[in-house]
């Protein structure tokens, strides 16, 4: 007879929760005391008197350890983060072993070598700020708002203050260079032309810096070759929007200058919102549970286990524990598992080990429910790709898969080529070879990414067009040649007619008419064919 | 209990970040000079900035300048009202005294024989200095105010390098150091010293220059208010310093003093008397003066309709006994005397000085300072308000500051960081310097002698920003 059976008989709740661990003894084993000490201890009864041991010695005496005092020396060290080789001294424990006696001269040398580097030199990290040449500036970095001189100044500040823009803005004191006057009146003119330096906002400076930095970055390394961190930085810098930043700051400023009443009102509105959201959540959950209850499939298991009183009692306890566990888990699980049919199965499986099979048979719903739960959980576990990653991996989404089902991109590329006749294929391959793209139906593209595939598709399409056009040109040239021949013939005949009689002339006229007719029909046939091809 | 704590024998770990090079931190102010070794929690050497000149003798330190028996003793201060050095010769001597008397190898012997106080031995001392400079083994970290001129900054590196022979030097802003002392790199520092009150924003250890605000609403201004209070109270309080009293008998509160005065056979200079009066006033400031801490301001009316001042009058007062034995209960006056810090209209008029303007009060300075920085920083700054300087130890100061700031920025979260220990509040900037100077990562920052020789004194402007 196990405790389980006893509980069963006494209608006690099952061991849903782990048993509380044994009460820890509050007081450790009492020291065995003798004589008066024990009497004193006993005065306290169950609550032992706290007797703090008296510490008579404040500090152990040094010589008790019999160890000589540790020796320290002020050891010189340098810091490799410095350029000037400043040597400072700090206190370091002397090595216990006495140095081997050496000749004085040697000892000196050793000392010089021994100067160690500071362990803190490695913390000397610098922000990487791009540099540009004059040429690059003139080609790519010109800006109406910023002169090169001022851009240089901004970059020097960025370097000086490690891109802390609030500080850069605070210390920004740009003075445009004073033009060197060559003559007296020229200087006056220049003085009139000097515009007072603009007051730059943080956003102006950021926008300028980011645009220059992004351009220089792209110049040094085309975006395709960047690794993902660099690419992200490049994107972020490219997408900086000063107007939006300014608007955000303006908004933040107005929020900052709220009065006390406004602040209080906002607080109360936020509270209200929280309450409304909580109520909506609760309502939704209740509704979901209701639906789950309504959808619970009718049990078609046998009712044999419940015909005895023991069985009924078990059912009651089962339901009770299911209810309880539901209460506990409400917050943890979604509404789907809340249906009474699956409740006990999923949450209280452990205690029922012994009768698991019967329980499952009797009250679990169709297995579809469980599967549904599994499938609904899986998608959340899958890693979500960001938009950018999707672009990199060439992920595209379709509403549904076409009739042919999923296919490899490679096949998609090959298809238009394979559908052509052998002659056509040969021609296309020739053109590709001409373009320096070694390709045939049997070899593959070197890197069939989505973008490459699209490019290749476009290329094939234009090659087709090219071939068609070439065919047409050939045909037209043939026709032109025929027409020219006909004309030459006619001219020859006319010349002969001028020489010969009228009869001959009439006969020739018929001949010309005939030949003209023939050429017209040839032309129409050609145009028909070309029209067909175009349509195709 | 281990006989030897293990930690001290171990190498400093990287996380701890300390690597001491026996640097000396020198934090000169208007009222006192603080000097000590980096890595310690309080300055070992603390001297008043006032020094005495008797004939051609210069007398330093609190132990000696309060002596009325010295003939023709004039009291001077090398600092200007702005807290920057005015008299470089005296300042150099004073600082050197502060360093060599307690920190470096020029051990002070008996004052009568060590040669510092008598004229003949001075020459010998100078000769000794030529041979051996006091700071040859110690890098020196000095603090300065945010508004120090670049000429002054160059002068200080010259003194450190030429006169004292430092191997390395650094000049740090005292407000930044105060923020470091409170463990913040980004902070709004409110520093009330003796001569100036300053409010400024610090971002990542750099002062934001557009946010620097200063005014004279500091310790000396409070003293002048106290004097004004004494002069205008009924009956007028006669301020008699300790040295003039030879004997006194206890009297009831409000009763005239019964004291016999000391007679001196030489004339006591005004500056000496002023210094001694100042000591009495500081005692008064420390034990009686209190900042009204709300609700609202002292001169406004409580929502219940009773003026706040009436409520204050109902509170128990404080008794202060003057050196001559006269004593008196101080009621609402003990609060109104510093109300001018917050409300310019409440300031007591001081003869010979222009009336306080609104911009000089602390709330206005905070407001101006905060509005001088980027919007994105403000929230972080208001969450890191560092209060430092001896005058902030006025009772109720931080509570009132908090109230004022909450009223000013009701939407923002405001957190005031004020050291609980008196020493940490008074020596806030020294403590910050002590932390900075003992950091291993700071070694690469020092301006070394070699750099000084290469670039000249202007290197300090380029490096210490």
Mutate to test the interface with B, among A55, A76, A79, A206 (most CBs of B within 10 A): A79
Q: What is the pTM of this model?
A: 0.65
Residues of A in contact with B465 (CB under 8 A): 160-161, 171
Q: What is the CA radius of gyration of chain A?
A: 47
pLDDT(B87) > 50: yes
Task: Identify the DSSP state of A45.
Answer: T
SS3 A120: coil
Residue of A84, A92, A167 with shortest CB distance to B450: A84
- Residues 379 to 418 of A: which have CB under 8 A from any B CB? none
Complex ipTM tops 0.85: no
Which residues are within 8 A (CB) of B118 and not within 5 positions of it... i.e. 6 or more apart? B57
Instruction: State how far residue A254 is from chain B, nearest Cα, in angstroms.
Output: 10
Residues of A in contact with B9 (CB under 8 A): 70, 93
- Confidence tier at A113 by pLDDT (50, 70, 90): low
What are the structural domains, with CATH classification, of chain B? 219-260+268-346 (3.90.640.10)
Residue of A64, A81, A119 with shortest CB distance to B444: A81
Choose among A164, A267, A247: nearest CA to B413. A267
Contact A84 B4 (CB under 8 A): no
Of all residues in chain B, the one with the smallest CA distance to A122 is B441
Which CATH number does A134-177+197-257 carry? 1.10.10.60
Per-residue HEC secondary structure of chain B comes to: CCCCCHHHHCCCCCCCCECCCCCEEEEECCCEEEEEECCCCCCCEEEECCEEEECCEEECCHHHHCCCCCCCEEEECCECCCCCECCHHHHHHHHHHHHHHHCCCCCCCCCCCCCCCCHHHHHHHHHHHHHCCCCCCCCEEEEECCCCCHHHHHHHHHHHHHHCCCCEEEEEEHHHHHHHHCCCCCEEEEEECCCCEEEEEEECCEECHHHCEEECCCHHHHHHHHHHHHHHCCCCCCCCCHHHEEEEECCCECCCCEEEECCCCCCCCHHHHHHHHHHHHHHHHHHCCECCCCCCCCCCECCCCCEHHHHHHHCCCEEEECCCCCEEEECCHHHHCCHHHCCHHHCCCCCCCCCCCHHHCHHHHHHHHHHCCCHHHHHHHHCCEEEECHHHHCECHHHHHHHHHHHHCCCCCCCEEECCCHHHHHCHHHHHHHHHHCEHHHCCCCEEHHHHHHHCCCHHHHHCC
pLDDT(A227) > 70: yes
Choose among B24, B154, B193, B20: nearest CA to B101. B24
Rounded-to-integer distance, Cα A358 and Cα B268, Å:
109
Residues of A in contact with B3 (CB under 8 A): 59-60, 62, 64-65
8 A C-beta contact, residue A185 and residue A239: no
pLDDT at A190: 45
| CA–CA distances in Å: residue B29 to residues B95, B196, B421 | 11, 10, 20
8 A C-beta contact, residue B243 and residue B276: yes
Q: What is the C-alpha end-to-end distance of chain B, expressed in Å?
A: 47
Helix axes A242-256, B375-382, angle to 10 degrees: 40
Maximum average pLDDT range among A262-271, A318-327, A417-426: A262-271
Rounded-to-integer distance, Cα A318 and Cα A393, Å:
51
Contact A70 B9 (CB under 8 A): yes
pLDDT(A305) > 50: yes
pLDDT(B414) > 70: yes
Using the Cβ of A506 and the Cβ atoms of chain B, whether some distance falls under 8 Å is answered with no
Using the Cβ of A70 and the Cβ atoms of chain B, whether some distance falls under 8 Å is answered with yes
Of all residues in chain B, the one with the smallest CA distance to A266 is B411
Rounded-to-integer distance, Cα B101 and Cα B384, Å:
37
Residues of B in contact with A170 (CB under 8 A): 208-211, 373
Residues of B in contact with A247 (CB under 8 A): none
Residues of B in contact with A258 (CB under 8 A): 410-411
8 A C-beta contact, residue B426 and residue B389: yes
8 A C-beta contact, residue B322 and residue B281: no
- pLDDT tens across B110-136, in order? 555 555 555 554 444 444 444 567 788
Where do you find CATH 1.10.10.60 in chain A? Answer: 134-177+197-257
Mutate to test the interface with A, among B205, B409, B410, B461 (most CBs of A within 10 A): B410
- Residues 258 to 277 of A: which have CB under 8 A from any B CB? 258-260, 262-264, 266
Residue of B9, B168, B443 with shortest CB distance to A118: B443
- pLDDT tens across A183-192, in order? 444 444 444 4
- Residues 156 to 175 of A: which have CB under 8 A from any B CB? 160-161, 164-167, 169-171
pLDDT at B114: 53
- Residues 194 to 223 of A: which have CB under 8 A from any B CB? 202
Instruction: State how far residue A49 is from chain B, nearest Cα, in angstroms.
Output: 25
8 A C-beta contact, residue B407 and residue B239: no
- Residues 326 to 385 of A: which have CB under 8 A from any B CB? none
Given CA atoms A330, A332, A335, A340 in this order, what sign does their dihedral have? negative
Contact B137 A167 (CB under 8 A): no
Burial B278-287 (b: 16+ CB within 10 A, else e): bebbbebbee
- pLDDT tens across A48-84, in order? 667 677 777 777 666 656 677 788 888 888 888 888 8
């Amino acid at each position: 007879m196990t405790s389980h059976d006893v509980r069963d008989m006494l209608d006690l709740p099952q061991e849903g929760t782990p048993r509380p661990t044994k009460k820890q003894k509050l007081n450790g084993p009492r020291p065995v005391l003798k004589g008066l000490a024990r009497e004193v201890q006993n005065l306290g009864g169950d609550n032992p008197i706290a007797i703090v041991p008296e510490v008579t010695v404040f500090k152990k005496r040094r010589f008790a350890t019999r160890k000589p005092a540790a020796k320290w020396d002020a050891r010189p060290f340098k810091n490799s983060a410095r350029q000037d080789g400043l040597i400072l001294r700090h206190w370091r424990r002397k090595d216990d072993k006495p140095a081997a006696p050496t000749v004085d001269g040697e000892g000196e040398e050793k000392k010089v070598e021994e100067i160690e580097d500071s362990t803190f030199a490695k913390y000397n990290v610098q922000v990487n700020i791009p540099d540009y040449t004059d040429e690059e500036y003139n080609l790519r970095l010109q800006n109406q708002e910023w002169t090169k001189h001022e851009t240089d100044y901004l970059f020097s500040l960025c370097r000086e203050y490690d891109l802390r823009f609030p500080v850069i803005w605070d210390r920004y004191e740009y003075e445009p260079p004073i033009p060197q006057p060559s003559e007296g009146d020229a200087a006056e003119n220049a003085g009139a032309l000097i515009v007072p330096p603009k007051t730059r906002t943080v956003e102006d400076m950021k926008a300028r810096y980011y645009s220059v930095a992004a351009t220089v970055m792209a110049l040094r390394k085309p975006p395709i070759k960047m690794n993902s961190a660099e690419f992200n930085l490049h994107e972020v810098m490219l997408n900086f929007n000063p107007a939006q930043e300014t608007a955000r700051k303006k908004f933040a400023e107005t929020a900052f200058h709220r009065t006390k009443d406004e602040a209080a009102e906002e607080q109360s509105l936020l509270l209200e919102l929280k309450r409304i959201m909580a109520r909506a959540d609760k309502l939704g959950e209740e509704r979901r549970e209701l639906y789950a209850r309504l959808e619970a499939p009718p049990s078609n298991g046998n009712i044999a286990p419940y015909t005895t009183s023991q069985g009924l009692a078990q059912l009651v306890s089962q339901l009770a524990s299911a209810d309880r566990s539901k209460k506990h888990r409400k917050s943890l699980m979604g509404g789907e598992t809340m249906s009474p049919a699956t409740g006990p199965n999923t949450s209280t499986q452990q205690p029922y080990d012994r009768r698991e099979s019967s329980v499952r048979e009797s009250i679990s719903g169709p297995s579809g429910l469980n599967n549904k739960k599994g499938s609904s959980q899986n998608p959340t576990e899958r890693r979500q790709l960001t938009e950018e990653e999707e672009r990199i991996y060439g992920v595209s989404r379709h509403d549904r898969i076409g009739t042919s089902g999923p296919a490899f991109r490679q096949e998609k590329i090959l298809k238009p080529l394979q559908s052509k006749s052998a002659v056509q294929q040969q021609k296309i391959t020739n053109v590709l070879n001409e373009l320096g793209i070694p390709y045939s139906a049997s070899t593959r593209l070197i890197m069939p990414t989505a973008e490459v595939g699209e490019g290749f598709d476009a290329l094939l399409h234009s090659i087709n067009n090219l071939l068609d056009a070439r065919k047409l040109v050939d045909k037209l040239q043939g026709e032109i040649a025929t027409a020219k021949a006909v004309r030459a013939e006619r001219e020859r005949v006319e010349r002969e007619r001028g020489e010969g009689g009228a009869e001959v002339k009439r006969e020739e006229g018929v001949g010309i008419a005939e030949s003209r007719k023939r050429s017209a029909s040839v032309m129409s046939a050609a145009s028909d064919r070309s029209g067909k091809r175009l349509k195709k | 209990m281990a006989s030897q704590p293990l930690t001290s024998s171990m190498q400093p770990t990287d996380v701890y970040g300390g690597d001491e090079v026996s640097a000396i931190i020198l934090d000169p102010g208007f009222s006192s000079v603080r000097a000590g070794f980096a890595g310690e929690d309080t300055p070992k050497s603390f001297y008043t900035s006032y020094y005495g000149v008797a004939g051609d003798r210069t007398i330093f330190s609190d132990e000696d300048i309060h002596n009325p028996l010295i003939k023709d003793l004039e009291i001077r201060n090398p600092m200007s009202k702005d807290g920057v050095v005015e008299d470089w010769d005296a300042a150099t001597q004073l600082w050197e005294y502060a360093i060599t008397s307690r920190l470096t190898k020029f051990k002070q012997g008996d004052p009568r024989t060590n040669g510092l106080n008598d004229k003949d031995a001075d020459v010998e001392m100078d000769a000794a200095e030529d041979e051996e400079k006091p700071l040859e083994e110690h890098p020196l970290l000095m603090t300065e105010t945010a508004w120090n001129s670049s000429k002054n900054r160059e002068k200080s590196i010259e003194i450190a390098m030429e006169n004292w022979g430092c191997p390395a030097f650094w000049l740090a802003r005292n407000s930044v150091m105060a923020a470091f002392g409170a463990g913040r790199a980004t902070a709004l520092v409110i520093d009330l010293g003796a001569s100036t009150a300053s409010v400024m924003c610090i971002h990542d250890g750099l002062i934001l220059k557009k946010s620097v605000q200063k005014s004279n609403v500091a310790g000396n201004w409070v003293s002048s208010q106290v004097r004004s209070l004494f002069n205008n109270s009924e009956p007028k309080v006669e301020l008699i310093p300790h040295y003039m009293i030879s004997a006194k008998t206890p009297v009831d509160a409000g009763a005239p003093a019964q004291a016999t005065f000391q007679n001196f056979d030489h004339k006591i200079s005004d500056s000496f008397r002023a210094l001694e009066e100042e000591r009495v006033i500081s005692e008064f400031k420390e034990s009686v003066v209190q900042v009204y801490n709300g609700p609202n301001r002292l001169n406004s009316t409580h929502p219940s309709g009773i003026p706040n001042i009436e409520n204050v009058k109902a509170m128990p007062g404080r008794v202060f006994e003057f050196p001559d034995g006269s004593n008196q209960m101080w009621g609402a006056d003990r609060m109104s005397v510093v109300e001018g810090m917050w409300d310019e209209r409440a300031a007591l008029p001081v003869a010979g000085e222009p009336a306080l303007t609104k911009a000089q009060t602390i709330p206005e300075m905070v407001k101006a300072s905060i509005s001088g920085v980027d919007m994105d920083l403000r929230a972080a700054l208001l969450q890191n308000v560092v209060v430092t300087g001896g005058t902030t130890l006025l009772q109720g100061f931080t509570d009132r500051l908090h109230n004022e700031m909450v009223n000013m920025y009701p939407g923002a979260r405001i957190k005031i960081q004020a050291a609980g220990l008196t020493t940490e509040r008074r020596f806030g900037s020294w403590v910050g310097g002590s932390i900075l100077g003992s950091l291993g990562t700071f070694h690469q920052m020092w301006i070394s002698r070699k750099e000084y020789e290469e670039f000249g004194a202007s290197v300090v402007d380029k490096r210490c920003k």
